[in-house]
Amino acid sequence: MILFTRQIWVMLLTTLAIIGMQTVWAQTQTAGKPKLAVYVFGAEESALNKAMATQLITALANTGSYQAADNYKEFFNKVAEEHKDGIAPGLERITSIGQQFGVEYICVALISNVSGEKQVGAQIVDVKTVKIAASGSSNVPLRTKGDLSVASEQIVKAMSNSATQKTAGSSNTFTDTRDGKTYRTVKIGKQTWMAQNLNYKTVGDANDTWIEEAKTNSNWCYENIEGTVYKTVRMCGSMIWIVENPNYKTDSSGCYENSWCYENKEANCKKYGRMYNWDAAMKACPTGWHLPTRDEWNDLVTVAGGKVAGRALKSKTGWEKGMVNGLMKDGNGTDSFGFSALPGGFWLADTGGDGDGDVFAFAGKESTWWEATEDGNEGYACQRYMRSGETSVSVEYGLKCFPAYVRCLQDN
């Protein structure tokens, strides 16, 4: 039988008291803090997705703003079960699963291949409102276990600086001072995109300085070209300029206009944005924004899921069902990143030859957007293309004089 001296009893009781205080302190630290779970996808190796999730939930819990849900691993596995055919569940489904597990916030992260290196970006979503509470990304290549920790810390730091409580797809807004129109914007990976097609009405070259100078000159004349009378002015000595936008079809491609509304209806410009020929598209974005290049579109597609990016970037409504490989499939997307791509249709032809016979088609089924990248063939440029039922964002080529939609990308 072991006998304890009074001093030993005091030490034991003191130790037990300290342990009890520490337990109460730990419970106090987590009490009232929202429960958080994490889901990471994108990497082919499931072990990497899980390891990244562990690092993220640890880093976020260490901020003191969240507590890791006790069942966060079970939550991860449940979402992974529904991640089939390379397509992740939408935010609504993920948050619904979160409610089943008693989670209040979910960090959804995507590991993507950027220029040959794996990188990660993440968003924290409020389960009840499906609103984005914070977002962030890391530029650290995920090569070692240590990289996962560094990347997590970078993301947490970026999240602390990001805007809070923004609805998915409307994390910010931008007002075009040229006409007062306001556009939603969204950050996807490292890029900030307008989350709506541009709807700025270009008028030929009417904003060019030489035309504005010409209009202030009183030396007006008139010139008859192919039966159409244009106002002209003599400038710079013997030079004579036409100071109106010619409405003359110069070739079979139809380059006498530079922007259109679908079916020439203003209501469709409000719904889908405006369609531009390539030259107008290159100039249409406001200061601080630009028409994205091939590489910039590629970065977006990579972050949004590669071969299945179309589904993640399409709007949740508005797309009709489409036939793919003999099967009728839902045309709508998950709009997982708030890009909200709409099926604005195509301009096909001008049957009248004067702009009054414009033929449009496929609204609700398809849409194209210009790239700033030119094709190797003269008169052609590259476009991005989405179609109902398909999950990809493909590359097409179009005559520069034909119209397509414009998504502006913020300058770096």
Looking at residue 87, its pLDDT comes to: 64
User: What does DSSP assign to residue 263?
Assistant: G
Return the CA Rg of the chain.
Answer: 28
**Spatial distance between the Cα atoms of 51 and 120, rounded to a whole number of angstroms:** 12
Looking at residue 182, its pLDDT comes to: 93
| Any domain includes 6 | no
- State the pairing for strand pair 239-242/366-374: unpaired
Last residue of a domain, one of 167, 185, 218: 167
| Any domain includes 13 | no
What is the chain's pLDDT, residue by residue, as a tens digit (412 residues)?
Answer: 445 566 665 565 555 555 554 444 444 444 578 999 999 988 888 999 999 999 999 999 999 999 999 999 999 999 999 876 666 677 778 889 999 999 999 998 888 777 778 888 888 888 988 777 777 778 889 999 899 999 999 889 888 765 433 333 335 889 999 889 999 999 887 789 999 999 998 865 333 333 333 334 434 343 433 444 545 544 434 445 554 544 443 333 344 468 889 998 999 999 999 999 999 999 999 999 999 999 999 988 887 877 778 888 999 999 998 776 667 778 888 888 889 999 999 887 654 444 555 678 889 999 999 999 998 788 899 999 999 988 889 998 888 988 999 999 999 8
| Any domain includes 134 | yes
Helix (H, G, I), strand (E, B) or coil at 179: coil
- The vertex-53 CA angle with 51 and 59, nearest 5°, equals 105
Last residue of a domain, one of 116, 150, 167: 167
Instruction: Tell me the residue type at 66.
Output: Y
List 87's β-bridge partners, or say none. 84
| Any domain includes 27 | no
Place of tokens 């290549």: 141
Q: Do residues 75 and 92 both lie within one domain?
A: yes
| Any domain includes 20 | no
Q: Do residues 288 and 340 both lie within one domain?
A: yes
- State the pairing for strand pair 35-41/67-68: parallel
Q: What is the CATH number of the domain that holds 152?
A: 3.40.50
Structure tokens at 277: 């020929």
Looking at residue 196, its pLDDT comes to: 95
Burial of 134 (0-12, 13-18, 19+ CB in 10 A): buried
Q: Do residues 128 and 40 both lie within one domain?
A: yes
Last residue of a domain, one of 167, 188, 218: 167
Q: Do residues 226 and 153 both lie within one domain?
A: no
Q: Do residues 125 and 47 both lie within one domain?
A: yes
| Any domain includes 64 | yes
Place of tokens 């991640």: 83
| Any domain includes 235 | yes
Q: Do residues 339 and 197 both lie within one domain?
A: yes
Crossing angle for the helix pair 46-62 and 145-161, to the nearest 10 degrees: 50
**Spatial distance between the Cα atoms of 199 and 270, rounded to a whole number of angstroms:** 7
Listing DSSP states for 148-163 in one string gives: HHHHHHHHHHHHHHS-
**Spatial distance between the Cα atoms of 109 and 46, rounded to a whole number of angstroms:** 13
Q: Do residues 357 and 235 both lie within one domain?
A: no
Q: Do residues 68 and 163 both lie within one domain?
A: yes
| Any domain includes 114 | yes
Q: Do residues 294 and 362 both lie within one domain?
A: yes
Q: Do residues 380 and 311 both lie within one domain?
A: yes
Q: Do residues 344 and 288 both lie within one domain?
A: yes
Which domain, by its residues, includes 224? Answer: 209-242
Q: Do residues 237 and 380 both lie within one domain?
A: no
Q: Which of 172, 175, 176 is nearest to 187 (CA)?
A: 172
How many domains does the structure of the chain reveal? Answer: 3
Structure tokens at 365: 């089924």
Structure tokens at 337: 């990143």
